[in-house]
Amino acid sequence: MNLTVFSGPANLPLAETVAARLGVRLGQSVVHRFPDGELHVEVQESVRGHDVYLIQPTSPPVEARLLELLLLADACRRAGASHLTAVVPYFGYARQDRRASGWEPVAARLIADLIAAGGLGRVVAVDLHTAALEGFFSIPLEHLSAVPLLAERVRPFVPDNAVVVAPDLGAVKLAERYAGLLHQPIAIVHKIRITGEKVSVRGSWATSRAGRRLLWTT
């Protein structure tokens, strides 16, 4: 089965690098806007019977990037692609995975449903906000991690007295992974989100390299 890689506008250099590493040519497509603001997407080569990968982080502006991905997927599906996989290194709305007040949507679940409804058969994501998001998808999700690669890259620049900081309780597991790979202590901030822009810090604590709690401040 032929392999074809397309890129949305979100990160063309990333898609070009991936295609080069795979030894394939990046597929030709066009994404632009009509004067009224509507998106127009067109694939410019045959994908009939192909295994198609669409590389498109849903980074800001999230709504535009998401719609570009969905339109690319629909164009490929209607052009006869056999399999469609979305490669989404940054998954927008991943933090909205629950209702804090009971008066909000579960946006992460809605986005997962939209991706599945768009005809995609699989999603590849990198270091999601929480691994529990896998349960939101009705299609297979490949959850990859860049933590070992990133930790190895920064290791030469990490001083002996460094501390890995988790900015909130939700980031503790990720910070612990970095701390373990870098052999550094970890500090955790107890943060309460008030609005999308305002937070309140109630306290913080740190642990030694051996995992013992050292201090608590308020």
Residue 87 to residues 126, 177, 201: CA-CA distances in angstroms? 9, 24, 35
pLDDT band at 82 (very low <50, low <70, confident <90, very high): very high
Q: Which two structure tokens, joined as six digits, stand for 164? A: 């890995």
Catalytic residue among 191, 196, 211, 218: 191
Q: Which two structure tokens, joined as six digits, stand for 77? A: 């599906």
Spatial distance between the Cα atoms of 192 and 91, rounded to a whole number of angstroms: 23
**For residue 218, how far is the Cα from the chain centroid?**
33
Spatial distance between the Cα atoms of 8 and 65, rounded to a whole number of angstroms: 8
Longest CA–CA separation in the chain, Å: 62
Tens-digit pLDDT profile for residues 53-70: 999 999 999 999 999 999
**For residue 144, how far is the Cα from the chain centroid?**
10
Tens-digit pLDDT profile for residues 154-197: 999 999 889 998 887 778 888 999 999 999 999 888 766 656 66
Q: Is 191 a catalytic residue?
A: yes
Q: Which two structure tokens, joined as six digits, stand for 139? A: 């299609």
| CATH topology for the 3-144 domain | Rossmann fold (3.40.50)
Spatial distance between the Cα atoms of 131 and 176, rounded to a whole number of angstroms: 15
What does pTM read for this prediction? 0.83
Q: Domain segments of the chain: what residues?
A: 3-144, 156-217
Q: CA neighbours within 13 Å on the CB side: how many for 95?
A: 9
Residue 43 has pLDDT above 70, yes or no: yes
pLDDT band at 216 (very low <50, low <70, confident <90, very high): very low
